Chain A
Amino acid sequence: MMSELLSQVVGSYNYWIVVFLMMTGFYILISRGNLIKKLVGLNVFQTSVFMLYISLGKITGGTAPILVDDPEALYSNPLPHVLILTAIVVGIATTSVGLALAVRIKEAYGTVEEDEINEIEAGIDDRRAPGRAALRGP
């Protein structure tokens, strides 16, 4: 009984890695105030999903899904791998948009620390017309 449970726990080690990575990324995302660190957390979070998909497609004893002569050959499932290639591209795009925004935020606020940004934003009074202080220059 005990050993059965243990082998089940050990046998699904890939999922433990995924869960650990996901929670690590999520924690960084929530707890860090630095925008760049937030993006790093987001990346770790997304990477855990890549691992989830990739390990889903692996079949024990399966070979790479390239047609071979042996009719008995067992192939890994290529579809999750292809899907995750798309998701990796999306992840790169998200990171680059995020970093581009971080650069612009640094230009506009002079900082990428969330609490300092909040302080500056709390000081903006938009009662009057556009509130020149809030504008970003030409």
Chain B
Amino acid sequence: MRIVDHLPILQVVVPLVLAPLCALVRSRRLAWGLAAAGSVSSLVVSLRLLSAVMASGPISYAIGDWAPPFGIEYRIDVVNAWVLVVVSTIAAAVAFYARVSVQAEVGDRRIPLFYAAYLLCLSGLLGIAATGDVFNVFVFLEISSLSAYALISLGRDRRALTSAFRYLIMGSVGATFIVIGIGLLYATTGTLNMEDLSEILPQVWDARTVKVAYGFLAVGLCLKLALFPLHLWLPNAYAFAPSAVTAFMAATATKVAVYMLLRFFLTIFGAAFSFGVMGLDRLLLLLALTAIFSMSLVAIFQANVKRLLAYSSVAQIGYMILGLSFASVTGLTATLLHLFNHALMKGALFMALGCVVYRIGSVHIDAMAGLGRRMPLTMAAFVAGGLSLVGVPLTVGFVSKWYLILGALERGWWPVAVLVLITSVMALVYVWRVVEVAYFKPPPDDEPIAEAPASLLVPTWALVALNVYLGIDAGRTIGVAEQAARTLMGTAP
């Protein structure tokens, strides 16, 4: 076998092997180098995988040459190749951002361990996306979650500890629910392979065990992806984690959980079962609309800007679930586009906030007064990311909202389309609150504050540039997302 044939496993294994090395080397610079190398290699691999899958269809990789369905299979199709690209793009940007940001926010002694946890988290997230075995999903889910708890607890504020603990409790309950669901599926079908499950399950739709498994999986996954009202762990975890961790988690962890939901409910159970038998679409529509509306409202009244954006994240997850609840290819295209687009905008926004933390040590809205003139590049990045969040044309946010509204109109649900527009205005309100303070209020004192260093600004602006570039030249991303949506709905040509 050539090395190219091993691509599906490489991007998971490379960070996994580098992680213990990071913990062993004890040198801050070397640990960072390993983390950056791991992230960049994953990005290269996942881009190659995406182009290979787009050109010649799904790739199946049998781990240790044990033939599926008995061995563990890694199966890459357009959907997970897409998610792999999303995760590794953000991981690469955050890795470069982390060098200076982490040094400022995490104790020296802990920095090599920080990068070890970062690589473990990355490898877990990539593993969830790459694997074709449901129990393997659980294992990688726990690898990524456990390292995420550790990463969040490294925040400077002592509330980081309590929010990590709460996340641990809720996350473990969610993961346990997922294992119960997987166990019940195995009890009915006798297989753990996704492909195999999707063939056997239609024969046993009527079994109560299958429906119970569906219920457990639904609750567990929704806890992991922070769908309202199971989002309670998220705002504090994002608000008090180190800046680099917030940018990474906000842009990847919940996205991968959304991917798991799509994979379980559309590929394994099948769209016909989820929408036809279980009525998932109606339930998700209700939850998504409540999430979008109530969380945007809560975000408007937050004083801590990081927490403001965290609530906005919960609302944005609502948009992704809303696309799924349309039960159509257009809706799913919107979900998959927003998956990537939201990662880009929240990544950029949280990185800009990290620059603010680096210079003034606070993200309280009052402390940011007058920053527009003192840190012009940082705040400009924030404004650009904010515009994308609102969904202004020429940014990626516009592309996903456009498809979301198309999907709603296709179903004839114009009130939903109106609500999407109204909540976009609410997004404008909470972004504007920050902009107003930063640009139109005088700074609280005369202390000179310098612009953030280039090593923070370059990754931030790289994501901002992607926000704009992919907002203008959206053809390619839309093409991939549409093909992925067709694969999920089972209508691929």
Binding site for B on A (CB under 8 A): 26, 29, 35, 38, 42, 45-46, 49, 52-53, 56, 79-80, 83, 86-87, 90, 93-94, 97-98, 101-102, 104-105, 108-109, 117, 121, 124, 126-131, 134-136, 138
CA distance A38 to B176 in the complex (A): 15
CA distance A80 to B186 in the complex (A): 9
From B139, B164, B187, B362, contact of A101 by CB (8 A): B164
Contacting residues of chain B (125-150) with chain A, CB-CB under 8 angstroms = 135, 138-139, 142, 146, 149-150
User: In whole Å, how far is A123's beta carbon from the nearest beta carbon of chain B?
Assistant: 12
From A35, A53, A135, contact of B157 by CB (8 A): A135
Q: How many A-B residue pairs have CB under 8 A?
A: 103
CB of B159 within 8 A of CB of A128, answer no
From B107, B142, B162, contact of A117 by CB (8 A): B162
From B146, B159, B169, contact of A134 by CB (8 A): B159
CB of B162 within 8 A of CB of A83, answer no
User: In whole Å, how far is A28's beta carbon from the nearest beta carbon of chain B?
Assistant: 11
CB of A130 within 8 A of CB of B361, answer yes
CB of A124 within 8 A of CB of B159, answer yes
Main secondary structure of the interface of A (DSSP, over half): helix
Q: Using Cβ atoms and an 8 Å threshold, which residues of chain A touch B153?
A: 101, 104
Q: Using Cβ atoms and an 8 Å threshold, which residues of chain A touch B59?
A: none
Task: Show 21 residue pairs from A and B whose CB-CB distance is below 8 angstroms, ordered by the A residue.
Answer: A45-B176, A46-B176, A49-B179, A49-B180, A49-B183, A52-B180, A80-B183, A83-B135, A90-B142, A90-B175, A93-B146, A94-B142, A101-B149, A101-B164, A101-B165, A105-B165, A121-B162, A128-B367, A129-B361, A130-B361, A136-B158
CB of A56 within 8 A of CB of B180, answer no
Is residue B366 contacting chain A, with contact meaning CB distance below 8 A? Answer: yes
Q: Using Cβ atoms and an 8 Å threshold, which residues of chain B touch A53?
A: 183
User: In whole Å, how far is B124's beta carbon from the nearest beta carbon of chain A?
Assistant: 12
Which partner residue on chain B sits nearest A93 by CB separation?
Answer: B146
Which partner residue on chain B sits nearest A50 by CB separation?
Answer: B179
Q: Using Cβ atoms and an 8 Å threshold, which residues of chain A touch B146?
A: 90, 93-94, 97
Q: Give me the 3 closest cross-chain CB pairs, A-B, nearest first.
A: A108-B158, A130-B361, A90-B142
